[in-house]
């Protein structure tokens, strides 16, 4: 089988290598000429035998929309596009409709495995017509972990189902990471704990919270004890937000995922206006001490009240 692969970043590049390793011929296209096999979408289409299969692995949103529009111009009736980025499932319906008008088939595929997928294999969640899924099955077999088809591949449903499943997957991922992170901070905060990395390692086997994410947490703290080399600023890809929006729309309670998304927002604020107001309100209704914006302010006491002030402030406090 010979396919085209668009987008040779961290994920796409690794996928190309795994596909080739497993007997799939791949012609890749990327804006970076150093990694690209061809110079344009038209050249990519010309390299592939019909009916063509082209897999897109570019960022969701405008970039994916531009790629799909471009493929609609260079592909032909009977060709197949697999959209493997993290698009919102509602966009799949639009993309599939645009391509269907020209007789081009469409599958959406949520891909999980990160930069480790090249060696370990990927988890795949696919949406679309069963006949199209069957036609692309050699690709899915090449990408998934060997011998684990039932555990690593699912035809989730109709168009959009693959990306919907990946959205929920990533929402769960947000919650899991936040729980591990809060546990890590609790361990670091207690003086009786001497070996935080050792505790994380001890959790890796036999415990109910063992997971690949925990293994990666161990790796992270081993490589950077105390995590002193990185800032606590966390981006989000959008899928956590979409999960929360879907939960609100469906009336499904999702407090853990929602809290994890908001925690990422909080990580980007050096000095939260909201928490400034909370501090001010505590001072207003309970007489609690307020830490000055500049700890060096004369008489500011670094935000720490004296014992007498603390006693007065706490007396009868509703909090």
pLDDT of residue 271 exceeding 80: no
Q: What is the pLDDT of residues 88-104, one digit of tens each?
A: 999 999 999 999 999 99
pLDDT digits (tens, 9 = 90+) for 36-58: 999 999 999 999 999 999 999 99
Give the SS3 label for residue 318.
coil
Q: Is 173 a catalytic residue?
A: yes
Indicate which residue of 83, 91, 118, 173 is catalytic. 173
3-state secondary structure 59-82: CCCHHHHHHHHHHHHHCCCCCEEE
pLDDT for 183 beyond 90: yes
10 flagged as catalytic: no
CB distance 200 to 220 below 8 Å: no
Q: What is the DSSP letter of 232?
A: S
Report the DSSP pairing between strands 53-56 and 2-6: parallel
Which one of 91, 166, 239, 246 is the catalytic residue? 166
Average pLDDT over the chain reads 88
Percentage with pLDDT > 90 across the chain: 74
pLDDT at 225 over 70: yes
> Which pLDDT score, from 0 to 100, does residue 135 have?
97
Query: Half-sphere exposure of residue 97, counting CA atoms within 13 Å on the CB side?
Result: 6
pLDDT higher than threshold 50 for residue 122:
yes
pLDDT of 313 over the 50 cut: no
What's the pLDDT at 272?
A: 73
pLDDT at 307 over 60: no
Domains and CATH numbers, the chain: 2-158 (3.40.50.720), 166-267 (1.10.1040.10)
Please tell me the distance from the alpha carbon of residue 240 to that of residue 288, in angstroms, as a whole number: 36
306 pLDDT above the threshold of 60:
no
């Amino acid at each position: 089988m010979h396919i085209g692969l668009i987008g040779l970043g961290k994920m796409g590049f690794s996928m190309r290598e795994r596909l080739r390793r497993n007997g799939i011929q791949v012609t890749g296209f990327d804006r970076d000429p150093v990694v690209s096999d061809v110079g344009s979408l038209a050249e990519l289409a010309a390299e592939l035998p019909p009916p063509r299969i082209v897999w897109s692995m570019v960022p969701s949103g405008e970039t994916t929309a531009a790629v799909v529009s471009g493929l609609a111009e260079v592909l032909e009736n009977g060709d197949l596009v697999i959209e493997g980025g993290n698009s919102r499932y509602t966009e799949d319906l639009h993309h599939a409709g645009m391509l269907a008008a020209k007789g081009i088939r469409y599958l959406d595929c949520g891909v999980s495995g990160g930069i480790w997928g090249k060696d370990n294999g990927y988890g795949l969640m696919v949406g679309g017509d069963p006949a199209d899924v069957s036609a692309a099955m050699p690709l899915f077999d090449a990408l998934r972990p060997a011998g684990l088809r039932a555990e690593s591949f699912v035809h989730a449903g109709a168009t959009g189902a693959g990306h919907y499943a990946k959205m929920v997957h990533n929402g769960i991922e947000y919650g899991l990471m936040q729980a591990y992170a809060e546990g890590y901070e609790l361990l670091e905060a207690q003086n009786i704990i001497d070996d935080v990395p050792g505790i994380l390692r001890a959790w890796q086997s036999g415990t109910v919270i063992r997971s690949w994410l925990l293994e990666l947490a161990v790796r992270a703290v081993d490589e950077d004890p105390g995590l002193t080399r990185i800032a606590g600023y966390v981006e989000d890809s959008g899928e956590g937000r979409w999960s929360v929006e879907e939960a609100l729309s469906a009336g499904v309670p999702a407090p853990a995922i929602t809290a994890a998304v908001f925690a990422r927002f909080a990580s980007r604020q050096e000095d939260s206006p909201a928490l400034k107001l909370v501090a001010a309100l505590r001072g207003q209704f309970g007489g609690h001490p307020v830490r000055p914006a500049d700890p060096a302010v004369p008489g500011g006491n670094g935000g720490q009240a004296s014992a007498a002030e603390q006693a007065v402030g706490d007396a009868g406090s509703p909090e």
